[in-house]
Amino acid sequence: MNEQHNPADIQPLHGRTIVVTGGNAGLGYFASEQLAAAGAHVVIAARDPAKAAAAASAITARIPGARISCEPLDLASLDSIHKAVASLARLDRIDALLANAGVIGSPTRRDTADGFELQFGTNHLGHYALICGLLPELERHRARIVHVGSISHRWVRPDFRSAAHPERYSSYRQYALSKLAVMSFGFELARLLQLSGSGVSSVVAHPGYARSMFTPSRQGIEARPHPGRVQQLLARPLAQGKDDGARPLVHAAGGPDVRSGEYWGPDGFFQLTGRPAPVRPGPHALERNAASRLIDLSRDLTGARLPL
């Protein structure tokens, strides 16, 4: 399939505005490119204005006439989130929020500007606060929120009590716990929105096993060095590029067959690779009591309250 054309599995998105957090690199970049190819006005919300501008230039170079704009947003700072909410609220419309940005791994513990462990603070708490702030605007156009999960959620359990301030730091556990939190919140939010009669939908999606080594290059977009041929041959049956990994996220954001509360990912073996399809999460991601406690914790930590 020609990457410059509308992905075959979503309808044209002309006239729609979709905000993509972290749309300047990796999965977020390719999601932005694919959404722009489908005709959407894409707002790249990113921490680094120069990188966001480079991503916008790369997209318009491939898709002449693409509508791309940029919004400063640092999800590791509640102050930055509040400013972004005020700015995004001035858009004519927001039809979808693709909450994609995230921190993946840190060898040593690092904290957000507000003192939360960086991965949990950015991946979950930052997006939680952003969604709380934008929900009134999303309601205006019955928008769709897409939360980006991960296969890694399977390896941890929903004990979020000390996630923002862990006594012992494990980079992998903190990442997996942050993604489980993202998913638990996404599924519980779908239930709360339905109970309140809201027209907003909440969907969770994941990219499978998306690796840089299989990802096409883009001018001006940061890419990591590719490993040797042997490593690529070993990984090929189990991995796909970030362009393909972005497709479940894009479908979740714009697909006409997507319903609130669903979980979308690749349809292949162990959800590692494949075409976008509804898939099953680990049952612990659906534990309502844990999700309810997570929302209470997130409210207490950030001061942000869901307006439901």
The residues annotated with a catalytic role in the active site are 175
Give 257's contacts (C-beta < 8 A, 6+ positions apart). none
Strand partners, 146: 98, 203
Alpha carbon distance 60, 77 (integer Å): 30
From the list 252, 289, 97, 103, the residue with the least C-alpha distance to 179 is: 103
DSSP 221-236: S--PPP--HHHHHHHG
- Note the helical H segments in 96-240: 118-120, 127-140, 171-196, 229-235
Task: With beta carbons less than 8 A apart as the criterion, state whether 220 and 57 touch.
Answer: yes
